Each structure stands twice: as structure tokens, then as C-alpha cells.
Amino acid sequence: MCGIAGFVNFQKNLFDENALNIHIAKNMAERLRHRGPDSWGEWLGEHVAFSHSRLAVIDVEHGKQPMKRICGGYEFVITYNGELYNTAALKAELSQFGYEFSTECDTEVLLYTYIHYGDACVDKLNGIYAFCIWDSMRQRVFACRDRFGVKPFFYTFCDDAFIFASELKALFKYPGVEAEVDKEGLQEIFAIGPARTQGKGIFKGIFELRPGHCMIICRSGTKIKRYWQFKSMPHTDSYEETIEKVRFLLTDAITRQLVSDVPICTFLSGGLDSSIITAVAANTKAQKGEALNTFSFDYSDNEKYFKTSAFQPDSDRPWVDRMSSAFHTNHTHLVCNNNYLADALEDALIAKDLPGMADIDSSLLYFCSQVKKTHTVALSGECSDEIFGGYPWFRSEKPFGSFPWSHDMTIRNSVLRDSVANELNLEEYSLMRYRESVAETPRLESDTPENARRREIFYLNINWFMLNLLERKDRMSMASGLEVRVPFCDHLLAEYVWNIPWEMKNKDNISKNILREAAKTILPTDVLMRKKSPYPKTHHPLYEKAVKNYMTDVLANPNSPILEFVDKNKVLKLCSQNSDYGKPFFGQLMAGPQFLAYLLQVNYWLRDYCVKIL
């Protein structure tokens, strides 16, 4: 994984200011050095500048970027962030057409795939990626992002230039690109956050290439095209055939993602999803006479303060030990100090460039930094719940007409100044975004009204909740130069599961039943039937106390930028109340203390990025 950046300007000859443009490209890449600490480079053409910071995973010695190849007398240059999981197959296919390779890395394979297939290369790719290719034959830049948006791609325009980067922070290194936020950006922050509408970069004039989309930048302008989306169709496989197909697709996805020339591990919580990945990975390693390294996450004194809830029925530690013992992994229990969680909220904000999931972000930032000390690649279980229907709201009998993970705007509105609340109208904005997403759902005419509604719920979760988790995992891991792969995001698996009827997914009213059935030959029975328990959170009162103290200090400082939006007395009242962890304001675990921490991150964001409100 890497950091990519650059700019395109067909109205200027960039060679006329060669040193300046190389300097700008280098500065952009420098802001992404955490994503690629192993090597870096820049390439300058007449109208295009690319830069790159590389995290070496495959062919460590020869994969430096930007990479250039000459074919048919034309120059093709790529800057690429990602990992292809079908590199070997593509390489064999291209070799039959006469292409010769000088490296073992997927960058060269991807570049030749584009050279040979042009825009249709997107249909050939299996992996996670965001890339730009300068094509001198067609005099254009071709940009693309993977189907689920595992890898980021932001862009903006300034004067005659198109500017892009893996992270928002790098865009601000281009002269003239400013951190400005208008009403819509504020609505995203206060109504939708920590999620974000696809395509929105929050800052005015900054956009995000949506997952499953590609774009062309040429003299006549820019053109964006959707190259992939779910296709709704009847599911014709029997129950038994479905189980076998899910098992094959999942095992295949995990196995393909174990390819690496650097140390690889798995994140293990003892839950169903991470346990399946760990079991397949451990068995694959065992065939080579190797043991798999695994890591679990927890918080100091959590055994003392942990409280069961409908969202978190038990702690992870016993289940982690069970899995590690069963599959003979070399396991490391990572424990985070509770004071760190509050102290690192600002670091997590900077890693993401936007307010995020509070201590859930800051803890992951810490854990990834520890894993990076010995490993460069990790596999994680995100995205299973979104495609198999594992969240509580999939099975709720209560109808909802808004985002189920943030349907109650009460706490959000309760702290705003009255004038701000009236201006932003959080409920109306959230409802608008919700209805837009529902309207996009791929339909199947033969669906019953109930099944049609199920598709809407799945589509919402995949395009909103899952994307938020993927963004969090990318930024927090890449802040330490750690590549995290997500096998449940394999598009072949997801495409198949999309059309499996709810009656199979939830057979006998068992959550994620079809996945559990597929894993019967993989996992011990007790682990197989463990109830869902999400990413762990701290239950220690010290964390809540620290957050409230920080917020009190912010409110006491008249120069705190958040005071333009929140009512000081209302926030102080919230700080004085006992927290009700049973009423999350976002997701399953983000309740009162996390909301205060989110407001802290908003304040850091406004201050650290010198945000100008329009």
C-alpha cells in the first residue's frame, strides 16, 4: 500500500517551471510519507506531475513508482496505491500477448493491463486499488478506484489544474487549495458524521471518486463513469449449494490475500469473522510448516469494568485464547492504556483529516502502530456484517425511515446553538441523503415488498456503514504504514451473497446463518456459534473522565472554534450527566462519551486545519 498524489494541467507546459512543479509534487507526497515509508519518487511530464510514497509488499527491490513503460512508441506512467490479488493470472494472460515483465510486482501488471485493455482493464482487476495512469497515446489521465472503496482517492480543481491525492491533507500542499467549508460540509459533520456521503470531501470544492468508478481527465475536461455495481437477480442455487459456494468463495478470497513478500498476520477477536480468516490463514501457513501470527486488542482494566449489553454480550479474551490454542498461532494480546485513548483523539483526527469514531479510531491507531513493529500486512474481518446481515438493525422488527445506525438526532441537536440548529436542519439533511441512497438500490422486479426492503437495508449498510469502517481502517493503519486487507470485501464473494435470500442468510432466525453453515468445516462449534460482539471499546471510567475534562477546557477557552456552533451551557450539561451506553448516537457503541469525544475532534479539526467557514 502506498500514497499517491499529483496534478494535471493541459493549459500549461509544466516543464516551463520544472523545479517548482517537482517541488509541489514532492511536497504532496511528503504529506503521505506515513502511507509509504519505504521509498518515494516523482515524475514530471509536459502536462502531468505524479508523486508516490511506497510501502513495499511485493518485489520490495524493484517496484518503485511512479513507474513508466514505453509501448508502441507511446509513454505510459502509473502511480498506484493498492494490491491486486489476481496478479499471477493477469501476468500469465498478458504474457500470451507478448508482454515481458522486468519485476514481480503488481504495479507493472496493472500498467500493462491498462495498456492492453484500455478502459476495460477495470473488469479484469480483483483487489483493492486507487491509481492514475498517464496515457500519452490518448493524451489523457485515467483514474480508478476499487469496487468497495477500500483505497481512497480525493480530488479537486484549482484554476486549470486537476489535483488528486490519497488523503485530503496532501491536496492542501497544492498552492491555492484551501480548507473551506460551507453549509453542506457542516451538515455532513453534524448530521451524518462520523460517516460521510460518498463523493463528498467535506471541504468545499473537494470531491472523492466514488467506489466502483473510474474517470478520465483530458483536454476537454473530466468524465466519470461507474464501472461496477451489484446486479440483483434470482438466486437459483439450493441451500446446500449456496453453503458450498460461500465456503469456496470465502476460502479462495482469504487464500489469495495471503500473498506477500513481507511478514503477514491476522487481527483476531475470537468472533466469527476474524476467526474464519485466522483459521484459513493458519491452515495455509501450517501446510508450509509455518505458524500464523495473530493479534488481539483490549484495554487496561477492561476485565474489571466490562459490562455486558445487547450490543456487546461478552468480552473477547476467552475466545481469542480458544482460537489461538486450536490453530496453534503465535498470539500477542495488545492492551491500550485508557489515558492514551483521550490523548490520541487529535492524532486520530489528523490521520483521517476529519472527525471520526473517537476512541474507536484512537485505539485502532495505537494497535496498528504496535502491529507495524513486526508486521507490514494484516488481514481483518471487516465487511462481513454488511453483506451477511449481522447487525442488530437487520433483524429489528421496528420499521425505520432513516439511517439505522444514527436515526436519533436528539443528542446531536441538543448541543447546537439554536440558530445553528435551525440553519443546518440535521433531520432534513440526513433524511435527504438516506432517500438518495435508497433510490440507488439495484431492484429485482420479482422481489416481494419485504425482500425489496431487505435489499435497501443491505445497500445502505454496504454504501454507508461499511465504507465508514473501511475509511477508518485505511487511515488508522496507514498512519503507521501497515497494510490491512479485508477478504470479506472480495467482489466475487459479495456479488454472490448479495442475491442470497434472507431466508437462507437468517435461517432458523440465526444471525449470519449461511456464513456459519459455510464455516462448519473450518471452526470449532463453540466459536462458530458465538454471538456477535463488535470491535471492543473501553469501559473504564478514566476515559470518560478524561474526555469530559478536555471538553471542559475547550469550553472555557473563548477562542475554541467549536463555540461558533455549540451552546456552551448545553455541552456542560451533557458533561455533567451520567452516560447511557445503551443509547448510541452512531453505530452500536458510540454513546455519550464518544459523542463528547467526537465534538472534541470537531474542535481539533476546525483549529488544526484552519478551517474557513463560508
Residues 189 and 330 placed together within one structural domain of the fold: no
Give the tens place of pLDDT for each residue, 143-166: 999 999 999 999 999 999 999 999
Residues 455 and 485 placed together within one structural domain of the fold: yes
Task: Please state, in angstroms and rounded to a whole number, the distance separating the CA atoms of residues 144 and 495.
Answer: 20
The confidence score (pLDDT) of residue 60 equals: 57
- Please check whether residue 234 lies inside any domain of the structure: no
* Mean pLDDT value of segment 216-239: 97
Buried-state track 135-164, b at ≥16 Cβ within 10 A, e below 16: bbeeebbbbbbbbbbbbbbbbbebeebbbb
More confident residue, 531 or 451: 451
Task: Please state, in angstroms and rounded to a whole number, the distance separating the CA atoms of residues 383 and 267.
Answer: 14
Residues 523 and 545 placed together within one structural domain of the fold: no
**Number of domains comprising the chain:** 3
Domain CATH number, residue 148: 3.60.20.10
Question: Global pTM?
Answer: 0.95
pLDDT of 311 higher than 60: no
Residues 265 and 218 placed together within one structural domain of the fold: no
The yes-or-no answer on residue 105 being catalytic is: no
User: What are the cell numbers at 156?
Assistant: 479537486
User: What are the cell numbers at 68?
Assistant: 513508466
Residues 367 and 496 placed together within one structural domain of the fold: yes
Last residue of a domain, one of 528, 552, 577: 528
- Please check whether residue 107 lies inside any domain of the structure: yes
Residues 42 and 162 placed together within one structural domain of the fold: yes
* Range of weakest confidence among 33-37, 74-78, 395-399: 395-399
User: What are the cell numbers at 132?
Assistant: 492514475
Residues 311 and 337 placed together within one structural domain of the fold: yes
Residues 208 and 284 placed together within one structural domain of the fold: no
Residues 140 and 258 placed together within one structural domain of the fold: no
Residues 165 and 258 placed together within one structural domain of the fold: no
Mean pLDDT, the chain, whole residue set: 93
pLDDT band at 36 (very low <50, low <70, confident <90, very high): confident
Residues 581 and 476 placed together within one structural domain of the fold: no
The confidence score (pLDDT) of residue 38 equals: 80
Domain CATH number, residue 420: 3.40.50.620
pLDDT of 305 higher than 70: no
* Mean pLDDT value of segment 406-430: 95
The confidence score (pLDDT) of residue 124 equals: 97
Pairing outcome for strands 377-379 and 264-267: parallel
The confidence score (pLDDT) of residue 309 equals: 57
332 three-state secondary structure: strand
pLDDT of 310 higher than 60: no
The confidence score (pLDDT) of residue 291 equals: 95
pLDDT band at 70 (very low <50, low <70, confident <90, very high): very high
pLDDT band at 55 (very low <50, low <70, confident <90, very high): low
Give the tens place of pLDDT for each residue, 3-17: 999 999 999 999 999
- 84 membership: H or E segment, kind and range: strand 74-84
- Please check whether residue 20 lies inside any domain of the structure: yes
User: What are the cell numbers at 372?
Assistant: 507495524
- Please check whether residue 232 lies inside any domain of the structure: no
Task: Tell me what percent of the residues of the chain surpass a pLDDT of 90.
Answer: 82
The confidence score (pLDDT) of residue 317 equals: 87
Give the tens place of pLDDT for each residue, 96-115: 999 999 998 999 999 999 99
- Please check whether residue 231 lies inside any domain of the structure: no
Give the tens place of pLDDT for each residue, 464-518: 999 999 999 999 999 999 999 999 999 999 999 999 999 999 999 999 999 999 9
Task: Please state, in angstroms and rounded to a whole number, the distance separating the CA atoms of residues 334 and 579.
Answer: 27
39 φ, ψ to 5°? -160, 170
Which residues span the domain enclosing 573? 541-613
